[in-house]
Structure 1
Amino acid sequence: MKPNPCIGPPKRWGQAILLLIFLFSFPGPTLTHADIIYVSNWNNSTVDSFDSFTGTYFGVFAYPAHPRGTAVDSTGNVFVASYSSGSLIEYTPSGSSSVFATGLAYPEGLAFDSSGNLYEADYVANTIYKYTPAGVRSVFANTGLRAPYGLAFDSAGNLYAANNGANTIEKFTPAGVGSVFANTGLTGPIGLAFDSAGNLYAANYGGGSIEKFTAQGAGSVFATGLADPSGLAFDSAGNLFVADQWGGPTYGRIMKYTPTGVGSVFFNGYYTGPVYVAIQPVPEPSVWILLLLGCALLRVIRGLGYWTVPLNGIRNGVRVLPGIACSRPPSIPQSRHFAIMAG
C-alpha cells in the first residue's frame, strides 16, 4: 500500500497539537472586513471613495464630467458613465483612465453580467446597450423602455431595469426578452440592487423611499424619510448604501441601512448631488486564517520545509487536494504569529 502523503510520523501529530494550543493561547491580530465604496457626485464631477466599515473618506478617485452610473468589474476596474460627454470611462484601481465607449446620448445606469459584459442604460435613446470586454457594442433591448435608469442582475443572469418614465421595473432574460416585473408602489425609480437572498431593492426617487421586492415581484416598503434616493449598492456584510441626492443639510448624503432596515447617515459631506453607488468587495480575511492554520499544521507534520501538492492532485501515487501551497508572499506582513495569502 502506498503511503498517505497527508499523514506524518506520530511524533509530528504531538507537535501539531502543541502548535494549536500555542496559537489559540495568544490573541492574534484584529482583522476588520471592509469594502471600497465609489460614489458618483453629479454636480461636482467627481467619483469619491470610502471605507464601508469605518466611513473613512479616501478622497476623490476620479474626475469624469458629470458622472452618473458607476460599476466595478471583477478585476477592480471602475467604469463610469459620463453624462455630459456621452461616454463610458474606465479607471484602473490606481485611478488611470481610458475611454471605453463614446457617441452615447445620455448614459445612466451600468451593470456587469457574470461573463464580464457591461450593460448601459441610455435614458434618452430608451435603449439598453451591451458591451463585450473588448468594447464591442450591440443593442440588448429597446422595447418596453421609457427613460431607463438603474440596472441590476439577479443570480440567474436576468437583467432588471428601473423604467423611470413608466414607473415600472422591467425584467429581461439573458436573450433580451422583456416583461414587467413590478408596476406598483413606484414613482420615478432610479437605482436597483439585489441582496444575497435574491430580493430586489429599488430607489423610489419620487416617493422618497426604498422599495423591496421578492423574487416573485411582491413589493413592500423597506425604508422611508429620504429626500431623493438614487443609487443603491450592497456591501459584503449585507448593508444597503443609498445615494440620497438632495438629502441632508448640505444637499446630498449617503445613507446606510442594516439588513433589518435600521438607517443611519454614512456620509454627509457632499454639497451637490451624489447619484450612484458601486462597491468593490475586499476578500474576507477569515478565509486566509483558516488556510493559514492548515498550512501551519502541514509544516509541522511534514517537517520544516514547504509542501506543495501538484495541480494534477497526485503525490506519492495518492490523489490529494490539488494546488495547495504554503508560503508567505512579501506583500503580506508577518503578524505576531504568522500571515498568509493565497496567490
Structure 2
Amino acid sequence: MKTLKLISIAYFFFISTIIFSQEYRVYVSSGTGGFSSVKEFTLQGDYLGDFVSLGSGGLDWPQDIIFLEDQEIMLVSGLNSQAIHQYNSITGADEGIWANIPGKPTRMKIGPDGYLYVLQWDTNSKVLRFELDGTPLGEFTNTGVTQSIGLEWDSSGNLYVSSYGLGVVQKFNTLGQDQGVFISGLSGPTDIWRDSNSSGDFLINQWNGNKVRRYDSNGNFIGDFIPSIIQPEGHAYLPNGNLLIGSAGTADKIIEYQSNGTLVGDFATGNGLANPNAIVVRDATFSTKDFKKNKVLVAPTMGSTFKLNTTETHSLKSLEVVSLLGQKVADIDLMQETWEASSLKEGMYFLVAKDKGVMYTQKIIVKK
C-alpha cells in the first residue's frame, strides 16, 4: 500500500508558480507554560520577534518544529500541552491542534517514506507515524523507548531513537521491529543526527553530560565532538555549513560552531530565549500558489535518476532542488540531460526553476 500511495501522489503532482528567494530565517522553540513561544532570528542572529507568540493556541513547552511548505503550515510539538500545534507558516497565527498526543510529543521528523514520525515521552513511548495531512497511521515501533527525545535514520532506512532516561540509543529496522541497544553509556541524550561530512557518523547531544559525542555508523565511540556545552538540545546547519546548537540551563542561548566542532561564538541570546529545544533554518519566503499548467521539468516524478526535459530546461536561468523544509539542497546543471539524486535522502522535494522572472516548481519523490 505504501508503494501504491507514493506512485499515486507522484502521478498527480503538477507545476506551480512560486514566490521564492533565498531569504533565510532561524526559528527556535523557547520557554515553558505561558512563556512558550517560537522565536525568529535573521541568519546573522538578529532577533526579529516571536513568530509564535507566548502561549499561542495553548502551546506549553515546545519541543520541535516542522514546516510543511506545500501546505503553508508549521507544526510545533508541545510536551505539556500533549499536542502537535498547527500555525500558519507565513504569519505564525494559531490554526488549532494538528494532532493530540497524550504521550507528550517530543521530537518530530519526516522519514524516508515521506511520513511524519513523532516521539512520545510518556505512556508506552512507541514511535507514532502520520501522513502529512494529519491522518494517524498508528504506532510504528513494536516496543517503546522510555523518555524518547531524538531520532535519526541510517542510509539503509533503519531508525535510531535516543532515550533520555535510560541513556541509550535504540535501533529499529525498516519495519519498526526492535533490534536492541545500538549505543549505551550516554548521559541524558537528547537529539541525534548524522554528521554533515558524509562519514555516516552519529552526533548526539548529551543534556546531562554537557557535551556532544561522536559515534561511527556501527555505534562505536569515536570521541567528543564538542567537549563542553551546557545542556545541549536542538541543532541545525546554516547555509555556510556551520552548526547551531541550543544550550539551556544557565546559558539559554544558541551557539555557533564550524562543521568540525570548532567554536565560532554565541549566535543568539536574550530576548526571553529559554530552554531552546528545536532550531530550524528556513527560507522564510518559500510559498506556492496553484498554477495548473502542464510544464514538466523532469521525468519520471519518482526515482533516483531523472531525465531533464531539455526543451524547457535549456532556456532556464537556474534549477534548484529544495526540501520540504524550504532549504536548498542541490543545484542542477542545466546543460546535462540527466540528474542523479542518489546523494539525497529519500523523500519529497521541490524542483524550483527560474525563467524570465517567473518561478515554477515541480514536486518529485526521491526513492532509491
TM-score (norm 2): 0.65
**Cα distance change, pair 115–144 in 1 and its aligned pair in 2 (3 A):** closer
Match of 1:230 among 228, 233, 247: 233
Provide, for residues 299-324 of structure 1, a one-character-per-residue CA deviation record: whole Å limited to 9, x for no partner: xxxxxxxxxxx7599xxxxx971433
Which residue is equivalent to 2:291? none
Kept in 1, the 8 Å contact 2:246–2:277? The answer is: yes
Kept in 2, the 8 Å contact 1:81–1:109? The answer is: yes
Kept in 1, the 8 Å contact 2:296–2:309? The answer is: no
Give me the whole-angstrom Cα distance separating, in 1, the residues matched to 2:316 and 2:297: 17
Shift of 1:282: 7.4
Give me the whole-angstrom Cα distance separating, in 2, the residues matched to 1:238 and 1:114: 23
Which residue is equivalent to 2:122? 124
Kept in 2, the 8 Å contact 1:89–1:100? The answer is: yes
Which residue is equivalent to 2:132? 133
**Cα distance change, pair 208–312 in 1 and its aligned pair in 2 (3 A):** closer
Unpaired runs of 5+ in structure 2?
Answer: 1-20, 286-294, 299-307, 319-354, 361-368
Shift of 1:86: 0.9
**Cα distance change, pair 229–92 in 1 and its aligned pair in 2 (3 A):** same
Provide, for residues 78-128 of structure 1, a one-character-per-residue CA deviation record: whole Å limited to 9, x for no partner: 211112221101223212333210142211111111343111111112221
Q: Structure with the greater relative contact order (CA < 8 A, sep ≥ 6): 1 or 2?
A: 2
Kept in 2, the 8 Å contact 1:190–1:203? The answer is: yes
Matches within 5 A, 1:159-174: 159-174=159-174
Which residue is equivalent to 2:85? 89
Which residue is equivalent to 1:40? 29
Kept in 2, the 8 Å contact 1:192–1:232? The answer is: no
Which residue is equivalent to 2:177? 177
The one-letter code of the counterpart of 2:48 is F
Matches within 5 A, 1:1-343: 35-43=24-32, 44-52=35-43, 54-62=44-52, 63=56, 64-73=59-68, 75=70, 77-94=73-90, 95-96=92-93, 97-125=95-123, 126-137=125-136, 138-143=138-143, 145-179=145-179, 180-184=181-185, 186-196=186-196, 197=198, 198-219=200-221, 220-248=223-251, 252-263=252-263, 264-269=265-270, 270-280=272-282, 311=296, 321-324=310-313, 325-326=315-316, 340=357, 342-343=359-360
**Mean Cα deviation higher: 198-207 or 156-165:** 156-165
**Cα distance change, pair 247–34 in 1 and its aligned pair in 2 (3 A):** farther
SS in 1 for 2:146: coil
**Mean Cα deviation higher: 220-229 or 141-150:** 141-150
Give me the whole-angstrom Cα distance separating, in 1, the residues matched to 2:262 and 2:67: 26
The one-letter code of the counterpart of 1:66 is W
Kept in 1, the 8 Å contact 2:69–2:89? The answer is: no
Give me the whole-angstrom Cα distance separating, in 2, the residues matched to 1:71 and 1:312: 27
Give the superposed CA RMSD: 3.1
Give me the whole-angstrom Cα distance separating, in 1, the residues matched to 2:175 and 2:358: 39
Provide, for residues 237-269 of structure 1, a one-character-per-residue CA deviation record: whole Å limited to 9, x for no partner: 332211111142xxx111111112122211111
Provide, for residues 168-207 of structure 1, a one-character-per-residue CA deviation record: whole Å limited to 9, x for no partner: 11222331123322114x1010112223313321110111
Give me the whole-angstrom Cα distance separating, in 2, the residues matched to 1:271 and 1:342: 36
Give me the whole-angstrom Cα distance separating, in 2, the residues matched to 1:271 and 1:71: 19
Q: Which has the higher helix share?
A: 1
Percent identity for Structure 1 against Structure 2: 22
TM-score (norm 1): 0.69
Unpaired runs of 5+ in structure 1?
Answer: 1-31, 284-309, 314-318, 329-337
Give me the whole-angstrom Cα distance separating, in 2, the residues matched to 1:271 and 1:206: 20
**Cα distance change, pair 148–326 in 1 and its aligned pair in 2 (3 A):** closer
**Cα distance change, pair 321–39 in 1 and its aligned pair in 2 (3 A):** same
SS in 1 for 2:240: coil
Q: Which has the higher strand share?
A: 2
SS in 1 for 2:119: strand
The one-letter code of the counterpart of 1:70 is I
Give me the whole-angstrom Cα distance separating, in 2, the residues matched to 1:256 and 1:99: 33
Kept in 2, the 8 Å contact 1:194–1:200? The answer is: yes
Kept in 1, the 8 Å contact 2:167–2:184? The answer is: yes
**Cα distance change, pair 50–214 in 1 and its aligned pair in 2 (3 A):** farther
Larger radius of gyration: 1
The one-letter code of the counterpart of 1:46 is S
**Cα distance change, pair 277–154 in 1 and its aligned pair in 2 (3 A):** farther
